[in-house]
Structure 1
Amino acid sequence: MPNGKRAKFSFKYIAAMEALFNFILKFGNLNRQQMDFIASKAKTLTLHKEAYFSEAGKIARQVGFITEGILRVCYYNNKGEEITKYFIDENNLVVDLESFDNEICSSAYVQAVTDCKMIVFSRKDWLELLQTIVGWDAIVHKIISRALMQKVERRSPLVSEDATTRYLKFMEIYPSAVNRIPLAYIASYLGVTQSSLSRIRKNIR
């Protein structure tokens, strides 16, 4: 590999790890040795648009941190319609927790909406971090609690509002993502048809 390419990769990797640690350190303290240990278990992953990070019917076996891109969590209802539950954008952890923790088949898909760059940890390495780093479980618990609270906060205003208000709130919640997510996925998330959403977008411009 030419030196330029190696340096470029190293810089991107260092920047990605820096983003991960900036995120983690909001929830607790780690010393340099602990951070080095976490970094030794981390791998980079490029997930292309529409590829799956984890799938329904399979056991989720990795935890990811998104450094670039957007993922969505979706499932099929009893009519066979695809429903988007929520989106996960940059600087957030992503894992199908129930499947990952309990080693049971997932009921949802986690799919790349855009090309994504991620830092990932295998289940084996993640468990080793939990067993080795004092206080890591407390940090992880805080991250998960925040993610669950965020999910509720983001969904609650969308339940009782009219479609236009739901879309305006969606733009508030995902300001940097709204133009990168296909209309069909946003419509599914908001519980409206794509044609209704197109009309709403035209009316508010």
Structure 2
Amino acid sequence: MKKLIEYILQFGILNSQQIKLIEKKVTELELRKDEYFSEAGKTPKQVAFIVEGIFRGCYYNNKGEEITRCFIQEKSIMCDYVNFEANAISSDYLQACTDCKLIVFSRQAWEELSNIIVGWDAIKSKMVQICMYQKSRKNPVISQDATTRYLEFIENYPSLVNRIPLTYIASYLGVTQQSLSRIRKNIS
């Protein structure tokens, strides 16, 4: 809980009573590797703070191929926020790449905090901006060669390389797992 409160306090000032209220409104959740926090075909119902673990945002293209759009790490808010706010059906998945520990706000709790805590909307807005930025695809430019894309991935996500399956990294980079293995072998 401490990590969540520290995260929130980066975006605004809350008194101890407001902090206690937030702590009462959330629940803790653990997801195992490969489980989904949010799924395509369903309406997102929760906002999560990642305490431990890594998630990936992914979807299936029109050829049925799984495409990894982004990775979301610890100390981040995570949600398919556009569909959460619109109460609409999602076309993306948020899947655990590792075993994960989350602190979760239900839709009702998220909205109630806006009605109770003065300034919560401003704090929430800043957190959501970062969440949306992380989820927007920041992947390498496909016109670059695959080795350059992988080197940029290592630079942008140094802590992920040895924590998540290569298949997810390959999907993110737009290469096959075999190509990624060759690239990794050539640069070692």
Same fold (TM over 0.5): yes
Q: Which has the higher contact order (CA 8 A, sep 6+)?
A: 2
Structure 2 unaligned spans of 5+: none
AA at the equivalent of 1:136: W
Q: TM-score, normalised by structure 1?
A: 0.87
Identity %: 60
Question: Are positions 1:203 and 2:176 aligned together?
Answer: no
Q: In structure 1, which of residues 112, 126, 129 is the aligned counterpart of residue 110 of structure 2? A: 126
Q: In structure 2, which of residues 97, 101, 105 is the aligned counterpart of residue 113 of structure 1? A: 97
Aligned residue-pair number: 188
Give 1:1-205 correspondences, 5 Å limit. Answer: 17-150=1-134, 154-155=138-139, 157-205=140-188
- Helix, strand or coil at the partner of 1:181: coil
Structure 1 unaligned spans of 5+: 1-16
1:36-72 residue CA offsets vs partner (Å, 9 max, x unmatched): 1000011100001111101000000001001111011
The aligned residue for residue 9 of structure 1 is: none
AA at the equivalent of 1:197: L
Structure 2 distance, partners of 1:47, 1:150, is 20
Structure 1 vs Structure 2 CA RMSD: 1.5
Structure 2 distance, partners of 1:63, 1:45, is 12
Structure 1 distance, partners of 2:80, 2:20, is 26
Q: TM-score, normalised by structure 2?
A: 0.94
The structure with more helix, counted as a fraction of residues? 1
Structure 2 distance, partners of 1:26, 1:101, is 23
Structure 1 distance, partners of 2:110, 2:136, is 26
Aligned residues of 1:49 and 1:113 also touching (Cα < 8 A)? yes
Aligned residues of 2:33 and 2:97 also touching (Cα < 8 A)? yes
1:123-154 residue CA offsets vs partner (Å, 9 max, x unmatched): 01111011111111111111222333455583
1:163-199 residue CA offsets vs partner (Å, 9 max, x unmatched): 1111111112211121111111101101111111101
